[in-house]
Amino acid sequence: MLKIKIIAVGKIKEKYFSDAIAEYSKRLSRYCSFEIVEVKEETFRETNDGIKARILKAEEERILRVASGYKIAFAIEGKKNSSEGFAERIGKFVKDGENEVDFIIGGSYGLSAAVKAECKESVSFSDMTFPHTLMRVVAAEQIYRAFTILSGSEYHK
């Protein structure tokens, strides 16, 4: 069974996001092994380019320490897909016998160039900027939608 891991910077504070993720995690258990791994987010009072670089470096080290599968970055400059196209990509992982896929969501400043370089792909949901905690919900829902498309479920209309 394919193991899908979302590696995300920071903790979710909003109960409604946690509840949504718990629901999609439960639904995904039919299709894959699914987990979200949170890494510590750097805290800061003020920023400049030097501080931003140190933040990205610290978060990079934490992300790469827990990433062990086929790595895909969620980044605004990534490839945009339809839900069907994203489902095809998930289906290819299953068909090819991929064991583990890691989707990586950065913190407030995104992902470092080194994390992006470690990733074999980069995916974008939109040109818009979203809170990184909300992106966990969106990612979990789209992964679930991908599996329902692949299985021919009524969920995707």
CA distance 141 to 21: 8
Task: Decide: 146 and 101 in contact? Cβ < 8 Å.
Answer: no
CB atoms within 10 A of CB 2: 17
133-138: long-range contacts, CB 8 A cutoff, minimum separation 24: 133/8, 133/10, 133/12, 133/13, 133/14, 133/17, 134/17, 135/8, 135/74, 135/105, 136/6, 136/8, 136/12, 136/17, 136/21, 136/36, 136/105, 137/17, 137/20, 137/21, 137/24
Q: Model confidence over 75-120: pLDDT tens digits?
A: 999 999 999 999 999 999 999 999 999 999 999 899 999 999 999 9
Q: What's the whole-number mean pLDDT along residues 41-68?
A: 92
Q: How confident is the model at residue 44 (pLDDT cuts 50, 70, 90)?
A: confident
Residue 122 pLDDT = 97
Neighbour-count burial for 35-52, b at 16+ CB within 10 Å, e otherwise: ebebbebbeeeeeeeeee
In the three-class reduction of DSSP (H, G, I as helix; E, B as strand; rest coil), residue 43 is classed as coil
**Nearest alpha carbon to residue 34 among 152, 119, 138, 144:** 144
What residue spans define the domains of the chain? 3-151
pLDDT-wise least confident of 8-17, 27-36, 46-55, 73-82: 46-55
Q: How confident is the model at residue 14 (pLDDT cuts 50, 70, 90)?
A: very high
CATH code for 3-151?
3.40.1280.10
